[in-house]
Structures are given as C-alpha cells and as structure tokens.
C-alpha cells in the first residue's frame, strides 16, 4: 500500500493480494485518523458480501472467490470498541458483465485498488442500536434516536 496526502484528502493505492480491510486499518492507525469518507475503484477477489434483513437482524452472506471489477466502493471510517472501523458497501462486476453488491465484509485486492479518502476533524463512534440490530453512528455522545 502507498498513499499521498493533500490537505485533508488522501489518495491510496492498495496492491495485488493485499487484504483490503487490513490495509485500510493500518493506514488509519498510521495517520491517526478519527473519521472520514472513502470511495474507490479497482479489482477485488475473495469478496464476502452481505445483505441485511432488518426483520431478523441478520445478514445473508456470500463469498465471491473470483476476480471482479470494483465498479464502486463507498464507505466511512468511524470507531468501534476503540478501534478504526471501515463500513463499506460495494458494487462488483463479473466477466459476464453482471453486477452484484452489498455490505463488504472482507476482500483481497486482485489487481489494484485506488481509493480517495477524505478525513474529518472529529471522532465518530459506533454504538449498539438494538432496534435495528447494528452498531449505529453516534455523534457528540448522543444516545440512539428513538425514531425507528
């Protein structure tokens, strides 16, 4: 992995066979980042994607072992249990030109991955929200909204 910084924006390249999440977590720790937004393109393999069912509060998960074009990667950085946590959704394209996507649990870089990361000055944390069954973004120490 290599990256370059300009003001509050980083341009990141993650290389073939590197673990996407491990690389991003290492980057966040090295730079002391507390929150931000990321987007990216490239190619991934061994991707585990998920679809969340609110009524059961569970994910259906599927692993896609083959190489796929990373058509869109979008997500954010927050903190969960005191550690950097990247919440990423992605759309992938296969050799048949079909697309599939969802919550990204894990992936390796197949060719290259090019990410634009914009850091924010404030720390954003995640806390459990029992109504939706997920760890919810929490701003300024506020309790989860009761609007669900």
Q: Which of 120, 109, 106, 94 is nearest to 13 (CA)?
A: 109
User: Is residue 131 assigned to a domain?
Assistant: no
Q: What is the CATH number of the domain that holds 109?
A: 3.30.1330.80
Q: Domain tally for the chain? A: 1
Residue 146 has pLDDT above 50, yes or no: no
Residue 21: in which H helix or E strand, if any? helix 20-31
Residue 125: in which H helix or E strand, if any? strand 125-129
Query: Which carries the bigger pLDDT value, residue 5 or residue 122?
Result: 5
pLDDT in tens, 115-141: 999 999 989 999 999 999 999 999 765
How many whole angstroms separate alpha carbon 144 and alpha carbon 130?
Answer: 9
Residue 147 has pLDDT above 80, yes or no: no
Residue 144 has pLDDT above 60, yes or no: no
Supply the pTM of this predicted model. 0.91
> What is the predicted pLDDT for the residue at 141?
52
How many whole angstroms separate alpha carbon 94 and alpha carbon 108?
Answer: 15
Residue 57 domain boundaries: 2-122
Residue 114 has pLDDT above 90, yes or no: yes
User: Is residue 90 assigned to a domain?
Assistant: yes
- Tokens 């910084």 label which residue? 5
pLDDT, mean over the chain? 94
Residue 148 has pLDDT above 50, yes or no: no
pLDDT in tens, 11-54: 999 999 999 999 999 999 999 999 999 999 999 999 999 999 99
> What is the predicted pLDDT for the residue at 140?
63
**Strand pairing partners for 100?**
92
User: Is residue 145 assigned to a domain?
Assistant: no
How many whole angstroms separate alpha carbon 94 and alpha carbon 81?
Answer: 35
């Amino acid at each position: 992995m290599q990256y370059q910084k300009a003001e509050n924006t980083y341009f990141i390249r993650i290389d073939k066979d590197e673990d996407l999440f491990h690389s991003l977590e290492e980057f966040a720790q090295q730079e002391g980042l507390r929150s931000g937004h990321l987007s990216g393109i490239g190619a991934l393999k061994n991707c585990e994607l998920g679809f969340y069912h609110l009524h059961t509060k569970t994910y259906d998960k599927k692993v896609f072992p083959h190489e796929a074009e990373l058509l869109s990667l979008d997500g954010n950085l927050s903190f969960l249990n005191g550690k950097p946590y990247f919440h990423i959704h992605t759309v992938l394209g296969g050799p048949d030109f079909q697309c599939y996507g969802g919550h990204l649990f894990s992936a390796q870089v197949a060719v290259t991955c090019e990410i634009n990361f914009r850091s924010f000055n404030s720390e954003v944390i995640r806390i459990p929200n029992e109504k939706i069954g997920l760890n919810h973004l929490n701003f300024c120490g506020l309790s989860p909204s009761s609007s669900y």
